[in-house]
Chains A and B, each alone.
Chain A
Amino acid sequence: MEIFTGIPFRMADQNNSPPNKRAFPKFYEKAIPIALGFLLFFIVVVLLYTLAVAAGVF
């Protein structure tokens, strides 16, 4: 390939192949961000609850 096109083999291979970004299986790609979002929300809830108990609200 290098002989015929003047483009080094590796470079030509990179240019022609589709982007191969690593990815988790589809289920995890969808579920993980949702789970992390819920966890962040619940961290805030627990922190507020702890402060409320400490303040004698409950």
Chain B
Amino acid sequence: MTVINTLVPFTSAIVSFVFAFIVFRRYARKGGAHLLLWGVGMIFYGIGGFCEAYFGAFGWNSLIFRSWYLFGAILVAAWLGQGTVYLLAKRRIANITMAVLLVASIYAAFRIFTAELDPGLLTTSVHTGSELSGHAIVTSGIRTLTPFFNIYGVVTLVGGAVYSAWIFFRKRVLLHRVIGNILIAVGALAPAFGGAFSRFGIPGALYFGELIGAVLIFAGFIRATTPMKEAESDEASQPSTG
């Protein structure tokens, strides 16, 4: 047990749950399916972080491993991205993709919680972050689900944030939303890079990637929902730079 493999993912979980609470509180005041889905997505993020912290402290058990794989490895990006779809796409398209995501998520949950696991591959000896994978799932056809969810998540969450930032930037309006969306996009990519570096042998990279991701997405959300009074009043009076 070290700080890196327990405290860092545990901090990610705390940040995610606090963020989810703030998003849900905003949803309760203002409504909006995107807020509801982002809140759910951050709960998933927090569950993933908590499972990793548990693994760092005590090793895997069946329930923690399955929960980590479902929420942390499969669902989180896709559900956060679905929130962005509700924000940017037409309601009908968002509803259709939501229905598909919901059915796919229930199917994934059923498959993961009924899958056969290889206890020998639920390693507890090394904790670097790189051992976090689905190799212990013996039943075929489950791990092939993961890239579909994650590609959908990257395209919708990161792509949606970049698209939003570009739209506001092109119109030269709402600078705080441009900055907020860029932070969200960087934060959403951070766990993917953490996972890649971890896989290439940098200890703890995944845990730090996830923590940085949670903090940046949180910061981006706060930035995007808090106008910059001084900067935005300057914007209107500034002449064109070209």
Interface residues, chain A, CB within 8 Å of chain B?
A: 18-26, 28-29, 32-33, 35-36, 39-40, 42-43, 46-47, 49-51, 53-54, 58
Let me know if A22 and B238 touch, CB within 8 A: yes
Instruction: Tell me which residues across on chain B come within 8 A of A40, comparing CB atoms.
Output: 162
Checking B151, B196, B231 against A47 with a beta-carbon cut-off of 8 angstroms, the contacting residue is B151
Q: List 6 tightest A-B contacts by C-beta distance, closest first.
A: A21-B240, A54-B147, A22-B172, A46-B192, A23-B238, A39-B162
Q: Which residues of B contact A (CB under 8 A)?
A: 144, 146-147, 150-151, 154-155, 158-159, 162, 165-166, 169, 171-173, 175, 178-179, 182, 185-186, 189, 192-193, 196, 199, 231, 234-236, 238-241
Closest to A46 in B: B192
State whether B199 touches A58 (Cβ < 8 A).
yes
Q: With both chains docked as a complex, state the minimum distance between the C-beta of B234 and any C-beta of chain A, in angstroms.
A: 6
Residues of A within 8 A of B175 (CB): 24-25, 28
In the complex, the number of residue pairs spanning A and B with C-beta atoms less than 8 Å apart equals 87
Known: A24-B172, A33-B169. Contact between A54 and B240, CB under 8 A? no
- B182–A49 touching, CB < 8 Å: no
Residues of A within 8 A of B236 (CB): 22
Q: Is the CB of A23 within 8 A of B169?
A: no
In the complex the two chains form, what is the Cα distance from A42 to B191 in whole Å? 12
Which residues on A sit within 8 Å (CB–CB) of B166?
Answer: 36
List, in ascending order, chain A residues with CB within 8 A of B146's CB: 54
Query: Are B154 and A36 in contact (CB-based, < 8 A)?
Result: no
